[in-house]
Amino acid sequence: MSGTDVLVACQDAALTFGRGPTAVVAVHGANLSITPGDRLAIVGPSGSGKSSLLHLLAGLECPTSGTVTWPHLDGPGDIGLVFQADSLVPSLDVAENTALPLVLAGHPETQTRHPVTEALGLVGAAALAERLPEEISGGQAQRVAVARVLAQQPCLILADEPTGRLDHATGARVLDALLTAADRTGAALVVTTHDPAVAPRRPPRRGRRARRRAAPRAPTS
Ligand code: ADP
Ligand code: MG
C-alpha cells in the first residue's frame, strides 16, 4: 500500500438522526480523506458530532446524504475502533478481551499471546491481564479497550475519546501508545477529543516525517 492510497474518504457526508422538527443534524457536510500514516484529531465540545463522524468512518452508521468509501481496505479487520462507551466482554478476562478480535479473525491462541502482551504493556495494563472487567476501574477498562485495538494491528485506528476517563499522565501514556503503535505499523490514526491538549500530541520518539505533520481539524457538525 502506498502513502497516497486512501483508506477512507468522506464526500459531503452528513448524518441526521430522526426526522421533522425533532431531527438532529450530528454531522453536516464532512469532506476528508485519510491515507496511511495520517494523524488526525477531531476536536469539539460534547454533542458536536465527534462520535457520529467516527462511526461514519468506521461504517457503523450510513450517511443520510453524501458518501463514505473505503477504497483500499480489505475488510472490517482493517479498522480498529476504540469505543467511547464501555465495550469489554464481562465474562472474559483482560487478556482474553484483548485477544478477542484476533480470535474472531481465526488466529490460534499461540499467535495471540505476543501481540496481546505487547499491547497491554504499551498502555501500562500488563498487570491486569488475568482480571475480569468488573475487577478493574473505568480508566483501566479504557486502556484495555485501546490495547485490544492495538493488538489487532489495523490499517486504520479510530479512537473515540481514548483519554476521556484518564488523568493527565495516564492519558498521555495512552496517546503515546496509540502514536507509537500507529508509527510502527504505518497505520492511520484518528482520535476524537474535547481536550485541546490532545491534538498537538506527538509520538514519544522523534524522526519521521509523519510525526511532524500538523494535526488538521475535521468538520464535526
Ligand atoms: P460528541 O461525540 O461530539 O459528543 P455525538 O456524535 O455523540 O457528539 O452526538 C452529536 C449529536 O447527535 C448530539 O446532539 C446527540 O444528542 C445526537 N445523537 C447522537 N447519537 C444519536 C442517536 N443514536 N439518536 C439520536 N440522536 C443522536
Ligand atoms: Mg462522543
Ligand 1 touching residue 22 (CB < 6 A): no
**216 part of a folded domain:** no
Domain that holds residue 52: 8-193
Q: Which of 24, 175, 35, 150 lies closest to 99, judged by CA?
A: 150
Minimal-distance CA residue to ligand 1 atom 20 = 52
Q: Model pTM?
A: 0.88
Contact, 176 vs 204, CB < 8 A?
yes
Ligand 1 touching residue 142 (CB < 6 A): no
**155 part of a folded domain:** yes
Dist. CA 32 → ligand 1 center (Å): 20
Q: Which of 72, 49, 44 lies closest to 156, judged by CA?
A: 72
Pairwise CA distance, residues 213 & 40, whole Å = 10
pLDDT tens digits for 9-41?
A: 999 999 999 999 999 999 999 999 999 999 999
**187 part of a folded domain:** yes
Minimal-distance CA residue to ligand 1 atom 26 = 17
Q: What is the pLDDT of residue 2?
A: 53
**170 part of a folded domain:** yes
- Residue 81: pLDDT above 90? yes
Give the model's confidence band at 200: pLDDT under 50 very low, under 70 low, under 90 confident, else very high.
confident
**40 part of a folded domain:** yes
- Residue 192: pLDDT above 90? yes
Pairwise CA distance, residues 26 & 219, whole Å = 11
Minimal-distance CA residue to ligand 1 atom 5 = 49
**90 part of a folded domain:** yes
- Residue 89: pLDDT above 90? yes
Q: What is the pLDDT of residue 205?
A: 64
How many domains in the chain? 1
**128 part of a folded domain:** yes
pLDDT: which is higher, 135 or 177: 135
pLDDT: which is higher, 195 or 101: 101
CATH of the domain at 136: 3.40.50.300
**28 part of a folded domain:** yes
Pairwise CA distance, residues 90 & 198, whole Å = 30
Q: Is the dihedral angle over the CA atoms 66, 69, 3, 160 positive or is it negative?
A: positive
